[in-house]
Structure 1
Amino acid sequence: MKENESPADSIQPDSGFVLAGHFRENDSYSTSRPAGMKDWLIAYTIDGEGYFEVPNERHACKSHDIVILRTGTPHRYGTAEGGHWHFFWAHFDDAMIPRQWLPDSPLFLLSIDNESVRKRIHRAFMKILSDSRERGDYWNELCVQSLTEMMILLTRRRQSRMDGRVEETLHLLSRQMREPVRIERIARAVGLSPSRLSHLFKENTGLSIVDTVNRMRIRQAALLLEHTERGSSEIAFDVGFHNYNHFINQFHKWQGMSPTSYRKSKRGR
């Protein structure tokens, strides 16, 4: 392998093949491809700082920044001067990913400000590395699934106009749906005061945090009523209501009918 050459320069992926790595490099590291590559590149910075250069542009890549480089784009990348760059990378064929999930620009950079998305991207890269090293049955299909998960997460974040801290709050609420709502704890987790979080949340979603949790609970209850034989009181407890009358009132509010009527209407259809 030539000096400062990436493994992907010497191993061109076949169609549908994911090639990935996990590097920690000092500032002597750089890779230059004046003619671009036949595949796409995605890179996620864990810590330190790197850079990407494409014609007429240079972008710094810091912790939790993710870069997608389009096939055929002339580029150069490496570690920022005087530091280190700790990052995941993967090359992939665009035939593996629906076109609407890929950015249009030659270089796309997004700073991931949502902690749950950071964790999912990190896990997805780790799964790609693990599956590609083990080479068990369907290993490449598993790699593609992990890559697809990342692309869906990035597409959703790219298209969303919602504040990242509100998105993180929604994720925390969904995980803690059965628990009492503790706005102070959630606010600490997303780095805001309770009053600021409540205002920002209502501004972004149109609902209060409490209303959002109750709507989540009722939506889940509606699915259980339609697709299971569990009784209404059991379902109320399953989704986080400890007072059955409160469950009935909330169900009327969000579904416009009682749980019994809802079940009959769905079963009747």
Structure 2
Amino acid sequence: MTDQASFLLYLWSHRAVYLGASPENDLHKHHAAQLCVGLEAPLRVREATNTEWLQTRAVLVPPDRPHEVDAGTGAIFTIYWEPESDDYPFKELGASLRTFPLSTEAVSVLASIGDAPADPSDVWTRCVSALGLQTYRAPEAIDPRVAVVLERIRQSSEQPHTLGSLATAVHLSPSRLSHLFSAQVGVALRRFIVWSRVRQAVRHALAGANLTQAAVAAGFSDAAHMSHSFRGMFGFAPSALFAHGINRRVFVVDDVA
């Protein structure tokens, strides 16, 4: 997958997988933790413009850590992961960039994900297996009140949902709903809402809306607001994904019951 004008993106409820050319090469930071792999050659990474480059095949970037990645014209594989989720595997990562050991076979498996679209659950299984990550979270029956909250967010992401309004709707205190939602869904309610709105905006953009229309339809005040939230999660603007002339394969996955 070497064409700079193409990319593959899987977007789940609190994590994402991207394959393609690096969409951002300036110094930046984002809240989602990042595991970045050079698929065709080692990449270079640094934490500030006045520090030395680190050359490595794969690097772990902690949440909110400034970094700059240079993959040249080669393709990269990247996982973005919400650090507040309970299946987040890098809780002991610390605050600095860290190299991530990968075999040649593992890199080949990750590169092959871009060969053809596949079932999202199969893609995720292949990713975590190749990376040697332990991310299993035992499924549990969703509490009917949490199910109501999930449905409200899915069906009306454009509404200004707050913890208080959602708690009132299901006759719980805000603190009780916050605890129950995190325990059952695996991610904080506030962060779930942000991911949900970004996912909805991407859906609208894929359906032909421009970024302003997609942003407003997903509950953002305008395109700048959506771009700020998107960049805060992933480190690059959504316009990089929806520019003209790009061959894009995007899968927005509903992975929460």
TM bucket (normalised to shorter chain) is: 0.3 to 0.5
TM-score of the superposed pair, with normalisation by structure 2: 0.38
More helix by share: 1
Q: TM-score, normalised by structure 1?
A: 0.36
